[in-house]
């Protein structure tokens, strides 16, 4: 069983998109799934499931679907590149290159983790508000984050993607997902081709937090 300090794992969890095709041992996959099961969920109902797709033909089909839905998305990013200030362009170009790589190699990851959820098992407390609903995700993505952190602990590259939801009907048919179960995330995992995980850059605590109200910066 892999051991790693919690803060070390969190602060070095990168989106690793360049993966080796080498198989992942079953006991490693089991620990990654078990970590996901430990997450909290509304009423502790755990209304999510994960399909660990290893079968080559199904991965190839998922890769085709991903390429179909992701390519227009990446193109829209590329289109905005010229309008960006010089300082942001290099970072965005790197993200686009990495994203393009993923569109072409999604199905080459040795395992694709497809997270599913049951709509009736979520407590969607923001359903009646006049804005996009997000609370259903509160019973799914804590498990997804545990899954990613466990990959980090096990030395597996991984990246959280949600674009495949656009092709949900096709994914449902391919993986025999029964109604009304639906899809929430698709996570390619595998051992990294290069360095893999490492230090990440994020906004500072001061930019992300407040004390007592929105008018008072965190200090």
Question: Of these, 13, 16, 19, 102, which contacts a second copy (CB under 8 A)?
Answer: 13
Q: Least Å distance between CB 204 and a second copy?
A: 8
Q: How many residues does the chain have?
A: 219
DSSP-based three-state secondary structure for 192: strand
Contacts to a second copy from residues 43-72, by CB under 8 A: 43-44, 46, 48-55, 58
- Is residue 142 close enough to count as binding a second copy by CB under 8 A? yes
Q: How far apart are CA 94 and CA 90, in angstroms?
A: 6
Q: Least Å distance between CB 41 and a second copy?
A: 9
Question: Of these, 24, 65, 74, 148, which contacts a second copy (CB under 8 A)?
Answer: 148
Question: Of these, 9, 20, 100, 105, which contacts a second copy (CB under 8 A)?
Answer: 9
Contacts of 87 (CB under 8 A, 6+ apart): none
Contacts to a second copy from residues 182-201, by CB under 8 A: 182-185, 200
Question: Of these, 30, 60, 80, 89, which contacts a second copy (CB under 8 A)?
Answer: 30
Q: Based on CB atoms, which residue is closest to a second copy, 22 or 128?
A: 128
CB 181 within 8 A of CB 115: no
CB 28 within 8 A of CB 1: no
How is residue 24 written in tokens? 């992942």
How is residue 98 written in tokens? 């990495």
Q: How far apart are CA 120 and CA 22, in angstroms?
A: 38
C-alpha closest to that of 110 among 50, 177, 189, 39 = 189
- Is residue 117 close enough to count as binding a second copy by CB under 8 A? yes
Q: Least Å distance between CB 193 and a second copy?
A: 20
Contacts to a second copy from residues 122-141, by CB under 8 A: 122-129, 131-138, 140-141
Question: Of these, 16, 36, 65, 109, which contacts a second copy (CB under 8 A)?
Answer: 36
Q: How far apart are CA 55 and CA 211, in angstroms?
A: 49
Q: Based on CB atoms, which residue is closest to a second copy, 111 or 191?
A: 111
């Amino acid at each position: 069983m892999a051991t790693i300090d919690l803060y070390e794992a969190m602060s070095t969890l990168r989106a690793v998109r360049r993966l080796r095709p080498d198989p992942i041992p079953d006991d490693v996959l089991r620990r990654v799934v078990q970590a996901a099961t430990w997450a909290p969920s509304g009423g502790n109902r755990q209304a999510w499931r994960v399909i660990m797709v290893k079968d080559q033909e199904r991965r190839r089909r998922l890769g085709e679907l991903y390429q179909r839905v992701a390519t227009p998305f990446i193109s829209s990013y590329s289109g905005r590149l010229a309008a960006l200030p010089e300082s942001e362009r290099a970072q965005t170009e790197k993200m686009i290159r990495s994203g393009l790589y993923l569109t072409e190699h999604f199905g080459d990851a040795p395992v694709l983790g497809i997270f599913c959820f049951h709509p009736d098992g979520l407590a969607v407390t923001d359903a009646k508000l006049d804005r996009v609903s997000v609370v259903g995700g509160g019973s799914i993505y804590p498990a997804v984050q545990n899954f990613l952190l466990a990959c980090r602990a096990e030395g597996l590259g991984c990246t959280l993607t949600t674009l495949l939801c656009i092709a949900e009907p096709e994914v449902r048919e391919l993986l025999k997902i029964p109604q009304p179960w639906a899809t929430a995330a698709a996570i390619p995992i595998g051992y990294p081709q290069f360095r893999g995980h490492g230090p990440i850059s994020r906004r500072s605590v001061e930019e992300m937090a407040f004390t007592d109200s929105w008018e008072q910066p965190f200090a």
